[in-house]
Amino acid sequence: MPTAIREWRGWTGAAPFWLNSFLLLLAPFTAVTLFGQIGVIAALAALGGLARHLWSGDYGHPAIHLAAALMGAAAAVVVV
């Protein structure tokens, strides 16, 4: 099991930690309100989890990630 920080999967489970950190650092500088940013980040995190589960062949749990992605996208649309 690799333990190097570059191999560690971040909070989305789908992208490396440095990529997640970069996206979070860019979020405050966008023209989207805070609640819109939270919705976008939640949707991206849920889509990352969905892709990870589908890639590994787990087809039951991804429905939760899909629902979370839709809720995050809906929150971003309502706020923005």
Q: Does residue 42 belong to any structural domain of this protein?
A: yes
Q: Does residue 8 belong to any structural domain of this protein?
A: no
HSE at residue 13, side-chain half, CA atoms within 13 A, is 15
Q: Does residue 4 belong to any structural domain of this protein?
A: no
pTM of the model: 0.46
Q: What DSSP character marks residue 47? A: H
Single-letter residue type at 59: Y
CA–CA–CA angle 12, 63, 26 (5° rounding): 30
Query: Which pLDDT belongs to residue 58?
Result: 65
Distance in angstroms (rounded) separating the CA atoms of residues 77 and 67: 15
Distance in angstroms (rounded) separating the CA atoms of residues 54 and 75: 24
Q: Does residue 9 belong to any structural domain of this protein?
A: no
Counting the structural domains of the chain, the total is 1
Q: Does residue 11 belong to any structural domain of this protein?
A: no
Residue 39 contacts residue 69 (beta carbons within 8 Å): no
Q: Does residue 3 belong to any structural domain of this protein?
A: no
Residues 16-66 pLDDT 10s: 566 667 767 776 776 667 777 777 777 777 777 777 767 766 666 667 767
Q: Does residue 5 belong to any structural domain of this protein?
A: no
Q: Give the residue numbers spanning the domain of 69.
A: 17-79
